[in-house]
Amino acid sequence: GSSQWIGSMEVGTVLTAHYGVVYKILSVPSGAHVLDYVEPLMAHFAQHGSPVMIGGGVLAYTLLGVAVPASGGEAKFLILDPHYSGQENAGTVRKKGWVGWKDASLFKADAFYNFCLPQTPAKIPTF
């Protein structure tokens, strides 16, 4: 009956309790350190491909991907803001910034973040 927002820890609990999905939490102590976690995030997407719920600190986002330029430079994060409500028009959603590639400045240096990484089963049943 609560009207409070849930965080990434609660998302993981719901995934496990209702769907049997195992998850891992990647705790980032500060937004200033988020670039230190690019490698494990990229490994998650390569192995599991599942979206990552980001909570903690002062925001909640869904991470859909991570890209590092081949020529070097800082990683970018494909972010979906789960607070969007409205028509399902991809052009409008992109144009208004509800989904897009963001740099690490999105994460606040004085806030912590928990990344909920849903794990896909080792063997997915076929039907």
pLDDT in tens, 36-70: 999 999 999 999 999 999 998 777 899 999 999 99
Beta carbons of 115 and 52 less than 8 angstroms apart: yes
The pTM assigned to this predicted structure is 0.84
Nearest residue to 118 via CA among 38, 42, 39, 11: 11
pLDDT in tens, 74-117: 999 999 987 777 777 777 777 777 789 999 999 999 999 999 99
Q: Which two tokens stand for residue 82?
A: 């789960």
Task: Look at residue 123 in the predicted model and tell me its pLDDT.
Answer: 56
Task: Look at residue 62 in the predicted model and tell me its pLDDT.
Answer: 94
Q: Which residue has the tokens 């740099």?
A: 103
